[in-house]
Amino acid sequence: MEDRLIDEGLGSAEVDGHDIGAEEMNIYITTANPQETFRRVQEILHDRPRGNDLRAAYRDLNGAEYIVLWPKGLDSFSVT
């Protein structure tokens, strides 16, 4: 998925790496416009299996608190 995001392009956003654990995979993206970048990610990955498991959030580079973008109504978000 990371390669696909890089190949398809995210405008001024930059795919900044990933990590994979036993129960989750994270792709890190640096962007000045999280909502627009997530919209583009959804367009690129719309046909991926397990798309319903996708969760997305952002935080300021120096911040600690995540703001959830997807799914709507998700109360908390963490990266393990």
Instruction: Answer whether residue 62 is part of any domain.
Output: no
Residues 31-56, mean pLDDT to the nearest whole number: 87
Query: Considering the entire predicted model, what is its pTM?
Result: 0.85
Q: How many domains does the chain have?
A: 1
Long-range contacts at 67-72 (CB < 8 A, ≥ 24 apart): 67/34, 69/34, 69/35, 69/38, 70/38, 70/42
Instruction: Answer whether residue 28 is part of any domain.
Output: yes
Instruction: Answer whether residue 63 is part of any domain.
Output: no
Instruction: Answer whether residue 37 is part of any domain.
Output: yes
Instruction: Answer whether residue 71 is part of any domain.
Output: no
The candidate with the shortest Cα–Cα distance to 4, out of 31, 42, 50, is: 42
Instruction: Answer whether residue 27 is part of any domain.
Output: yes
Instruction: Answer whether residue 64 is part of any domain.
Output: no
Domain that holds residue 17: 2-53
Q: Are 27 and 40 in contact (CB under 8 A)?
A: no
**What's the burial of 47, exposed, middle or buried (CB within 10 Å: 0-12/13-18/19+)?**
exposed
pLDDT tens digit sequence for 8-42: 999 999 999 999 987 888 999 999 999 999 999 99
